[in-house]
Structure 1
Amino acid sequence: MTVQREPARTPEQRKQDVLAKLETEEDLWAATASADGEPTLVPLSFVWDRETLLMATRRTNPTARNVTPRGRMVVTLGHSRDVVHIEGSAEMVEGSALEPSSGEAFTVKQRGWNPREHKAYVYLRVTPVVVKAWREVNELADRDLMRDGVWLV
């Protein structure tokens, strides 16, 4: 039995597909690690805002606590046959310090949920440093689309 695979996309097409996913997807998987290396992986809602990922979580959750000592986060979107993998620098932002347009963009995308109204929540803003995207093995060789915060395509 022969498995039919889609032809590999060009890096330019993959970048367009990544940007489309960032605009339309609602949730991602966020991975952090504590100072002693304990991993945490959770789903979070997000908005693509000002070339960064903006998400919200309770300030007491491990994801928020882990951002402070390391300042790093890895997030993925898509399923295992259409992966967007982003490594980035992360910062915690209080709702009161968030630009109003960013808070509103998040609230609109999340159908009215506004973390700024809940003191227990903070925003996490992730600036991409590495972006990779692939569907099948035929795209693995050219999966790097961004390195050191600079798009390669």
Structure 2
Amino acid sequence: MPDATSQPRSRAQRITDTLAMLQSPARDAWVASASSDDDGAAHPYLIPLSLVWWDERILLALPAASRTARSIAATSTTRLALGHTRDVVLVDAVAEQTVPVADAPADLAEGYADQADWDPRSDPEGYVYLVLRPLRIQAWREVDEMPGRTVMRDGAWVT
């Protein structure tokens, strides 16, 4: 955690720190999704999941029948939060594809297993990988880093 005397990070440093956080082994994230019922009432949902940064994408592995997997498949959108309140990374992402674990290409499955703290191939029944493309990423530590907190916009790193 930064100390009270530290200066706001440059955007380049924030991107470096964000990538380090995304690429760290056994990284977990809070994954938010929402669905609506027949009368239009919204049902937000938040769950912690293992996250993997793979080929400029985010991989999640979860049961296909889970509320989160169904909601993201229905809306194609999600928001993820990493870190804690004084060193946060927020990611707005869209779902590119859903891949059953049993049918996943070897590079995707190995990429997930290499970084995550578990390998869903050991019990693949009903599990899927969600491949998410980040559209916007924000990173900040303190109020003084609120300006310039967007480090990715429209899927491209802001330099």
TM-score relative to the length of structure 1? 0.91
Give the distance between the partners of 1:46 and 1:53, measured in 2 at CA: 7
Give the fraction of aligned pairs with identical amino acids, expressed as a percent: 35
Provide, for residues 70-97 of structure 1, a one-character-per-residue CA deviation record: whole Å limited to 9, x for no partner: 0001001100000000001013222244
What secondary structure sits across from 2:144 in the alignment? Answer: helix
Stretches (4+) displaced over 6 A: none
The residue aligned with 1:28 is 29
Structure 1 portions without partners, runs of 5+: none
Residue 103 of structure 1 contacts residue 116 of structure 1 at CA under 8 Å; is this kept in 2? no
After TM superposition, the structure 1 = structure 2 runs for residues 1-150 of structure 1, keeping only pairs within 5 Å, are 4-25=4-25, 26-36=27-37, 37-90=42-95, 91-115=97-121, 117-150=123-156
TM-score relative to the length of structure 2? 0.87
Residue 120 of structure 2 contacts residue 127 of structure 2 at CA under 8 Å; is this kept in 1? no
Backbone CA RMSD of aligned residues: 1.7
- Which has the larger share of strand? 2
Aligned positions, number: 151
Structure 2 portions without partners, runs of 5+: none
Give the distance between the partners of 1:52 and 1:29, measured in 2 at CA: 16
